[in-house]
Copies of this chain bind each other. A is one copy, B any other.
Amino acid sequence: MEQAACLNQWPAGVRNRMNYRFSSRMKTTPRSFIREILKVAERPDIISFAGGLPNAELFATEDLARAAHAVISEDGHTALQYTTTEGYLPLREFIAARYRKRLGLDISTDEILITNGSQQCLDLLGKIFLDQGDPVAIECPGYLGAIQAFSLYQPEFYGVPLNENGPDTEQLETTLKTRHPRIFYAVPNSQNPSGITWSDESRRTVADLLQAEGTIFIEDDAYGELGFSGNRPPSLREYIPGQTIILGSFSKIVSPGMRMGWICAPREITEQAITAKQASDLHSNYLSQRIIARYLEEGLLDNHIRTINRAYKDQCDHMLACIRRSFPEDVTCTRPDGGMFLWLTLPDGCSSMELFERALAKNVAILPGLPFYTDGGGYNTVRLNFSNSSCDRIQTGIDLLGEVLEEYVRETGKSQACEGKK
């Protein structure tokens, strides 16, 4: 009511005339139909595998509450003030040292820029690398957030099919040689959406191909610490350091709400990213940088990550077991070694949008795979999130989904058989 009253106070001329003209880039940026799906999925009566949330029960709330209080009460005059665009030096030092410890990489502190989650890295890299129409290679399926972020810079996407062990390297080679992409963006560890981790061999081959063409590789490593088997596959930084940009994040291992990520890139690239970052928002939330740095100083991170991985592995194993038991055999499924997602492929002719509708009628939410494809494919694919549901809810939800699938796949099979007879 108040709203209507407000609108009526506008001078009529203004109210009627305003026909806003937005930039052309807004026309090519996919409006997230996921946002709409997730709104539905938030209903408390829904068992949702649609979202992409870490398990909040595992957040180190007590440790972080203590760290926050200490930082503000002991050094609030600094921690609440403006700071440098690059970010808090001890935090950047921690990140650089951790690359050395975990992956044997020599990273210098001035190759690290703190960002608002790794999503902002994508925006900054779009800003510094992409002119309108520039070719960009991306896995198919690829991370939706990257497709959205890069879309604002109006590139041409070239999808590289993702197989069980990594990207289709023949297709990648063809794309590199014929399209000359400015960048190849990928998530080699426990990918969002597919859960696939590239094999070591695949990494070596991709590095060789990229080196031959001088293509920049954006290695989005949001899930690198979430590996169930404890394997630490090499970063492409090891093979092609001058061409590799690693994106990291505390979202999956400390807190997503604090929006803390980083770019790790050769200095010349980091410098450009700093210029873009300064123009975009001056610097990342300094208080949160200080809180996380304080938390990290206490040395609790490794144990915390082990706890997360144990829980996620249980949830993933449980979801896989339920799927084996209750899904039709011709629905295939990835077997993630980490991360938060697995990926279904329905039989030909089945639509994941249709499955979404049918599952929602039984109060189960899934995420159709279409928006992860830049080439219009993926109509029969589905992303399932296992990190944010208890084993009980996983069992109930997957069983219900199994019933829906049984019926839907049978119907589709019949109607295809009929089509075949005509």
- Give me the interface of A with B, judged by CB distance under 8 Å: 2-3, 5-6, 9-11, 13-15, 17-18, 20-26, 29, 31-32, 35, 52-54, 56-57, 59, 61-62, 64-66, 68-69, 72-73, 76-83, 85, 106-108, 115-117, 119-120, 123, 127-132, 134, 145, 148-149, 151-153, 182, 211, 214, 216, 240-243, 251, 255-259, 266, 268-269, 272, 275-276, 278-288, 291
Contacts and interface: CB of A to CB of B under 8 A. Distances in A.
Main secondary structure of the interface of A (DSSP, over half): helix
A401 B233 CA distance: 59
Contact of A69 (B21, B65, B257, B258): B65
Q: How many of these chains are in the complex?
A: 2
B278 A32 contact: yes
B116 A152 contact: no
15 contacts: A10-B242, A11-B211, A13-B211, A18-B268, A53-B81, A54-B81, A68-B72, A68-B291, A80-B255, A80-B258, A145-B282, A152-B280, A259-B283, A285-B285, A285-B288
B68 A80 contact: no
Nearest to A149: B279
A72 B64 contact: yes
Contacts of A29: 275-276, 279
Contacts of A284: 116, 259
B257 A286 contact: yes
A56 B80 CA distance: 8
A281 B114 CA distance: 13
Contacts of A129: 21-23
